[in-house]
Chain A
């Protein structure tokens, strides 16, 4: 006798869509004088040249980004423990869309907009300008 499927055990497969062109979305990084890093505990370094690749299936979770910058700023205002840079990334490859953001297989930096320190006002300073030069972005 076949067991009765439990509908709660496995979520239904996600609807799949094909798109041409990157998905642009805001995210944030921690940083030092020369590089930006993912904010999670393993601090993945984003290299100056070329895209970041991170599988989204299995044990890896892909590159995170959000639909809008507002939730990032609100979260930083309450939880920030170290300075971050807010910017825009382009996402492509396999991308899973969530209610408030994305997880993507590939990403590239397109903007490094401003630093946020202690949940405060945006800062554009010499350190940010150096990071922009390193990553070849104009703003």
Chain B
């Protein structure tokens, strides 16, 4: 079981470049108490 990703919105055709990417961070934040929908295994 994983966190739900919701409904499909659009499709992208993505071509990587040779440029050095700028990668965003994803810092830890204290989880809130709001319920998160669950889904079947992916």
A interface: dominant SS: strand
In Å, the complex CA distance between A20 and B9 comes to 19
* A 84-136 contacts with B by CB, 8 A: 86-88, 90-104, 110-111, 113-114, 119, 121-122
Give the contacts of A57-89 with B (CB-CB under 8 A): 61, 64, 66, 68-79, 86-88
Whether the pair A14, B3 counts as a contact (CB closer than 8 A) is no
In the complex, whether A33 has a CB less than 8 A from a CB of chain B is no
How many of chain A's residues touch chain B, expressed as a range? 35 or more
CB-contacts of A18-61 with B (<8 A): 18-24, 26, 39-41, 61
- 8-42 of chain B: CB within 8 A of chain A: 8-17, 19, 21, 23-29, 31-32, 34, 36, 38, 41-42
Chain B CB within 8 A of A16 CB: yes
Cβ contact within 8 Å between B13 and A19? yes
Q: Which positions in A face B, CB cutoff 8 Å?
A: 11, 14-24, 26, 39-41, 61, 64, 66, 68-79, 86-88, 90-104, 110-111, 113-114, 119, 121-122
B36 near A78 with CB under 8 A, answer: yes
List of B residues within 8 angstroms of A64 by Cβ: 2, 5, 42
